């Protein structure tokens, strides 16, 4: 099964170029917060980036991984940043392997809004910051581990066409550069049977519930055989998606699977 998914579609790239051109021709008189669109006072971001102790007093949070180093955010959104807690979870898989999952933060406050803006509004400029959060969580959880390969949780063709980009694929690419690892699209979502295109809502729900067979390995998974792999996703809720992806990878012969996400539902 060939991987059909680019990280961005050409239409998304063209729209991004168009927005950049408009920003050059019609620049904003003052910066706006990326999340709430409030105007940011002149010099505020520069002061935060220049003076870490002052930034801590302004934002009330530790500066490690703090978004004011990367993103244009107002004071209100900075104060709404949840602590970077390094949340750990263990998810049992059907093979008996306990999938270890680490999350950089709880899925609340500014982190939740940033992820929604990133996924649903196409704010791909948030990707480097999300990747830096995930990298910090990986280093804290496994400080001495060498992880050669990252595997992004795949998206559906429908979502790729609707959004124009593969958010988790971009996240895995940027995270790989932080960790000195490779990122490989080793999984895909099994395409629906055309003969079953007219299915009831109940049938769709049953198919979603049986997620074990929803993810299939691609030919690129062959290079992962016998090696440890780190799954990458944005948010973990019940863990069913990560469990299904881990099962699919373990069936290909990888030696170990763990997972990192940006945020975890409590």
Which residue spans of the chain are classified as CATH 3.40.50.2020? Answer: 82-264
On whether the CB atoms of residues 111 and 263 are closer than 8 A, the answer is yes
Whether 200 shows a pLDDT value over 90: the answer reads: no
Find residue 137's DSSP bridge partners: none
| Residue predicted with more confidence, 191 or 126 | 126
CA dist 219 to 1, 37, 134, 224, Å?
7, 44, 27, 10
Res 49: pLDDT: 66
Average pLDDT over residues 223-238: 95
On whether the CB atoms of residues 99 and 243 are closer than 8 A, the answer is yes
Average pLDDT over residues 26-40: 79
Average pLDDT over residues 190-206: 54
Res 66: pLDDT: 54
Tell which residue, 51, 31, 49, 50, has the closest CA to residue 41. Answer: 31
Res 16: pLDDT: 86
Find residue 92's DSSP bridge partners: 98
Q: Which CATH architecture has domain 82-264?
A: 3-Layer(aba) Sandwich (3.40)
> Rounded to an integer, what is the distance from CA 151 to the centroid of its chain?
11
On whether the CB atoms of residues 229 and 250 are closer than 8 A, the answer is no
Res 211: pLDDT: 60
Q: Where residue 106 falls among pLDDT bands split at 50, 70, 90?
A: very high
> Rounded to an integer, what is the distance from CA 14 to the centroid of its chain?
23
Q: Which of the 8 DSSP states describes residue 259?
A: E
Q: Which residue has the tokens 């795949």?
A: 154
Res 20: pLDDT: 81
């Amino acid at each position: 099964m060939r991987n059909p998914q680019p990280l961005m579609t050409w239409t998304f790239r063209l729209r991004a170029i168009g927005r950049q051109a408009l920003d050059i021709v019609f620049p904003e008189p003052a910066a706006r917060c990326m999340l709430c669109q409030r105007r940011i006072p002149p010099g505020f971001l520069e002061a935060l980036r220049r003076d870490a102790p002052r930034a801590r007093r302004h934002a009330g949070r530790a500066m490690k991984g703090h978004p004011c180093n990367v993103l244009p955010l107002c004071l209100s959104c900075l104060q709404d940043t949840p602590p970077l807690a390094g949340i750990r979870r263990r998810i049992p898989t059907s093979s008996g392997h306990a999938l270890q999952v680490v999350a950089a933060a709880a899925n609340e406050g500014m982190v939740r809004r940033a992820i929604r803006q990133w996924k649903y509004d196409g704010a791909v400029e948030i990707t480097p910051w999300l990747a830096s959060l995930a990298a910090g969580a990986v280093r804290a959880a496994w400080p001495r581990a060498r992880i050669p390969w990252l595997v992004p949780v795949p998206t559906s063709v429908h979502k790729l066409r609707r959004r124009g980009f593969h958010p988790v694929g971009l996240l895995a690419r940027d995270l790989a550069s932080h960790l000195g690892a490779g990122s490989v699209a080793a999984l895909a979502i099994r395409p629906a049977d055309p003969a079953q295109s007219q299915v009831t809502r109940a049938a769709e729900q049953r198919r979603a519930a049986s997620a074990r067979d929803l993810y299939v390995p691609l030919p690129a998974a062959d290079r992962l055989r016998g090696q440890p792999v780190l799954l990458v996703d944005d948010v973990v809720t019940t863990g069913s998606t990560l469990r299904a992806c881990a099962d699919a990878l373990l069936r290909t012969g990888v030696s170990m699977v763990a997972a990192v996400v940006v945020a975890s539902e409590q």
